[in-house]
Amino acid sequence: GDSVTQMEGPVTLSEEACLTINCTYTATGYPSLFWYVQYPGEGLQLLLKATKADDKGSNKGFEATYRKETTSFHLEKGSVQVSDSAVYFCAQTNAGGTSYGKLTFGQGTILTVHP
Amino acid sequence: EPEVTQTPSHQVTQMGQEVILRCVPISNHLYFYWYRQILGQKVEFLVSFYNNEISEKSEIFDDQFSVERPDGSNFTLKIRSTKLEDSAMYFCATGGNTEAFFGQGTRLTVV
């Protein structure tokens, strides 16, 4: 079945360090891929997405490229801030059509950024 | 910005009791979902709801669970007889054309 695997956490970085959180997926067909972020005490927020191969999603300095050949969607940021401390979830959906709501999530990666 | 709201934010219940978790979805969305996250584990899909009926459900969503839109606005998840292993964060989500919008979650603790 469809699945998403993220790198194990937690990840602890100093401010302005580079970030990469690995994500790979298995799917039948061609899923859409997402990164969601959960800040302390809040719900899941969409960070970025890509709907087809070679698409790059970007938002708030974060980027991820949909790589069909390696079935990956790694999250990257060149210079993290303390405010980026959160839990990051990679997710996929094959739902398409009129709804992108049925998602398969990775296990989440806790990121802590120190000043 | 539109948002999905969930109540309560935290609920403690005794094993065997019924609980109802409530969600107010974004008004023009047609698809509704419940997810749960047991502490330290993945966010797991429970059920999707469209046109006033369940469109898909996971293995987790057994006879102890039910969903409904009692008044056309709220979207509820009922657990009939809670078990200790039902303790988790429950997220409601509504699906738009380009993304799913999640509520802040209800933390359910069964004691």
Q: Which of B99, B101, B104, B107 is the best mutation test for A, with the most CBs of A within 10 A?
A: B99
Distance between the two ends of chain A, CA-based, in angstroms? Answer: 41
Q: Do A43 and B91 touch (CB under 8 A)?
A: yes
pLDDT in tens, A53-80: 999 999 999 999 999 999 999 999 999 9
Note which residues in 47-66 of chain A have CB less than 8 A from chain B.
49
Find the CB nearest B103 among A34, A43, A106.
A43
Distance between the two ends of chain B, CA-based, in angstroms? Answer: 37
pLDDT in tens, A18-66: 999 999 999 888 889 999 999 987 888 999 999 999 999 999 999 999 9
